[in-house]
Amino acid sequence: MNDNDSDFARQVRTALYAIAPDLQGEPLDPNRRYRDQFEFDSMDFLRYVVELHRLTGVDIQESDYSQLETLAAATAYLRGRAAGQE
Amino acid sequence: MSEFRMPSLGADMEAGTLVEWMKQPGDRLQRGDAIAAVETQKGAIEIQTYEAGVLERILVGIGERVPVGAALAIIRGEGEGEAVLEPVALASPPAAAPVAPPIEAAPLPRPVTAEIAPAQPPMAAIAKVAPPAPSPGARISPAALRRAQELGLDLSALHPAVDGVVGLREVEAARASSIAIVAGVPPPAAKKPAPAVPEPFAAPPPPLQPSPIAARPGLDLDEMRKAIAAAMARSWREIPHYFVSSTLDLTPMLAWLERNNAQRPVPDRLHYAAPLIKAVALALKAVPVLNGHHGEHGFEPATSVHLGIAVAMRGGGLIAPAILDADTLALADVMAALNDLIARVRGGRLRSGEMTASTATLTNLGEGTADAVQPVIYPPQVAIIGCGQVIERAWAHDGALSARRTMTVSVGGDHRVSDGRSAAKFLARLDELLQHPERL
Q: Does the CB of B316 have a partner CB in chain A at under 8 Å? A: no
Do residue B231 and residue B320 come from a single domain? yes
**Across the interface, which of A22, A27, A43 has its CB nearest the CB of B342?**
A43
- Shortest distance between the Cα of B69 and any Cα of chain A, in A, equals 32
Do residue B31 and residue B149 come from a single domain? no
Residues 6+ apart with CB under 8 A from A86: none
- pLDDT higher than threshold 80 for residue A1: no
Share of chain B above pLDDT 70, in %: 68
Taking the CA atoms of residue B331, residue B405, residue A42 and residue B39 in that order, the dihedral angle to the nearest 10 degrees is: 70
B residues 160-179 closer than 8 Å to A (CB):
165-169
Has residue B270 been placed in a domain?
yes
Q: Do B193 and A37 touch (CB under 8 A)?
A: yes
User: How many angstroms separate the CA atoms of A4 and A72, rounded?
Assistant: 7
Boundary residue ending a domain (B114, B145, B166): B114
Q: Do B271 and A38 touch (CB under 8 A)?
A: no
Q: Do B194 and A38 touch (CB under 8 A)?
A: yes
- pLDDT higher than threshold 50 for residue B346: yes
Do residue B227 and residue B349 come from a single domain? yes
- pLDDT higher than threshold 70 for residue B348: yes
Q: Residue B340: its pLDDT value, please?
A: 94
Stretch B262-272: mean pLDDT: 94
Decide: helix, strand or coil at residue B407. Answer: strand
Do residue B110 and residue B149 come from a single domain? no
Which residue of A41, A44, A46, A64 to mutate against B (max B Cβ within 10 Å)? Answer: A41
Sign of CA dihedral B118, B123, B127, B130: positive
- pLDDT higher than threshold 50 for residue B99: no
Q: Does the CB of A68 have a partner CB in chain B at under 8 Å? A: no
> Phi-psi category of B232—alpha, beta or left, where left has phi over 0 and alpha has psi -120 to 50?
alpha
Has residue B44 been placed in a domain?
yes
Q: What is the pLDDT of residues A38-55, one digit of tens each?
A: 888 889 999 999 999 999
Which residues in B72-99 are b (16+ Cβ under 10 Å) and which e?
A: bbbbbeeeeeeeeeeeebeeeeeeebbe
Mean of all residue pLDDT scores within chain B: 78
- Kindly report the CATH number assigned to the domain that includes residue B300: 3.30.559.10
The rounded radius of gyration (Å) of the Cα atoms in chain A is: 12
User: How many angstroms separate the CA atoms of B272 and B170, rounded?
Assistant: 39
- pLDDT higher than threshold 50 for residue B107: no
Domains of chain A: 3-85 (1.10.1200.10)
Whole-number Cα distances in Å, B62 to B16, B28, B36, B362: 11, 21, 10, 35
- pLDDT higher than threshold 60 for residue B105: no
Q: Residue B126: its pLDDT value, please?
A: 36
Has residue B120 been placed in a domain?
no
Has residue B138 been placed in a domain?
yes
- pLDDT higher than threshold 80 for residue B261: yes
Q: Residue B332: its pLDDT value, please?
A: 97
What domain range includes position B253?
221-439
pLDDT bin (cut points 50, 70, 90) of residue B380 is very high
- pLDDT higher than threshold 90 for residue B408: yes
Q: What is the pLDDT of residues B5-49, one digit of tens each?
A: 998 887 778 889 999 999 999 999 998 899 999 988 877 899 999
For the beta carbon of residue A81, count every other beta carbon within 10 angstroms: 17
pLDDT bin (cut points 50, 70, 90) of residue B172 is low
Q: What is the pLDDT of residues B209-236, one digit of tens each?
A: 334 444 455 567 788 888 889 999 999 9
User: How many angstroms separate the CA atoms of B140 and B68, rounded?
Assistant: 33
Task: Specify the range with the lowest mean pLDDT, choosing from B82-86, B111-115, B152-156, B386-390.
Answer: B111-115
Do residue B79 and residue B142 come from a single domain? no
Q: Are strands B139-140 and B53-58 parallel, antiparallel or unpaired?
A: unpaired
Amino acid (one-letter) located at B269: R
Stretch A23-29: mean pLDDT: 86
Has residue B387 been placed in a domain?
yes
Q: Residue B115: its pLDDT value, please?
A: 33
Boundary residue ending a domain (B84, B114, B144): B114
Q: Residue B170: its pLDDT value, please?
A: 66
Q: Do B141 and A38 touch (CB under 8 A)?
A: no
Show the DSSP H helices in B305-374 as ranges. Answer: 331-347, 352-356
Do residue B136 and residue B109 come from a single domain? no
How many CA atoms lie within 13 Å of B424's alpha carbon, on the beta-carbon side? 3
Has residue B200 been placed in a domain?
no
- Shortest distance between the Cα of B131 and any Cα of chain A, in A, equals 19
User: How many angstroms separate the CA atoms of B79 and B335, rounded?
Assistant: 39
**Across the interface, which of B141, B198, B265 has its CB nearest the CB of A24?**
B141
Maximum Cα–Cα distance across chain A = 36
The number of distinct structural domains making up chain B is 3
Mean of all residue pLDDT scores within chain A: 89
CB–CB of B35/B49 below 8 Å? Answer: yes
CB–CB of B147/B168 below 8 Å? Answer: yes
**Across the interface, which of A25, A49, A62 has its CB nearest the CB of B165?**
A25
Decide: helix, strand or coil at residue B288. Answer: helix
User: How many angstroms separate the CA atoms of B75 and B73, rounded?
Assistant: 7
- Shortest distance between the Cα of A53 and any Cα of chain B, in A, equals 7
ipTM: 0.86
Do residue B179 and residue B308 come from a single domain? no
